[in-house]
Amino acid sequence: MIEQDILENQVNPVYLGIGSNLGNKINNIELAKSKLILNDIIIVKSSSYYESLSWPDNNNPKFYNVVVKVLTKLSPFELISVCKTIETSLGRKKRLRNAPRECDIDIIDFNRRKMKGELNLPHSRMHKRNFVLFPLFEIDKNWKHPVSKHSIKKLLLSLKNRDIRSIKQI
């Protein structure tokens, strides 16, 4: 029982992706970061903002995205619950999948943990997403994918040329 208590109270390094493509995008992301802090989640590093095309419909407004490295004692399920509450507080509503949204917070990597099921860790599509890989590379050039063990550099180089050209740091 003592071992479990120690694990539950462990501070976990976590990478979160935060994005917005509705409303005041920068303000939405900054408010999301403030609300994470109010929930005892410590932001250690934050990337620059990156602008990318909306997926899968490029006609939707462009996204602004950041990746933040945080420290938390929350479990993965507690953290995703906090993230969903923050999204809702910033105006996110139930819409069609991949529809424009005021705020989207994803757990990219939770202390290198691997989970499948209700919550997938690491994020199941993060290795294909320019708006995750570029800001993640900016804040941790030595990061490795917990499952594939590929370096962030290798993942960036595996992106399609159009995905590399269609993102810009702002």
Name the packing angle between helices 76-89 and 25-38 (round to 10°).
140
**What is the per-residue pLDDT for 2?**
45
Domain assignment of residue 21, given as a range: 2-169
- Answer whether residue 87 shows pLDDT above 70: yes
Mean pLDDT of 147-163: 96
Q: Based on the structure, what is the number of domains in the chain?
A: 1
3-class SS string, the chain: CHHHHHHHCCCEEEEEEEEECCCCHHHHHHHHHHHHHHCCCEEEEECCCEEECCCCCCCCCCEEEEEEEEEECCCHHHHHHHHHHHHHHCCCCCCCCCCCCCCEEEEEEECCCCECCCCCECCCCHHHCHHHHHHHHHHCCCCECCCCCCEHHHHHHCCCHHHHHCCEEC
CATH number of the domain within which 16 lies = 3.30.70.560
- Answer whether residue 77 shows pLDDT above 50: yes
Q: 10-21 pLDDT, tens per residue? A: 999 999 999 999
Q: 125-140 pLDDT, tens per residue? A: 999 999 999 999 999 9
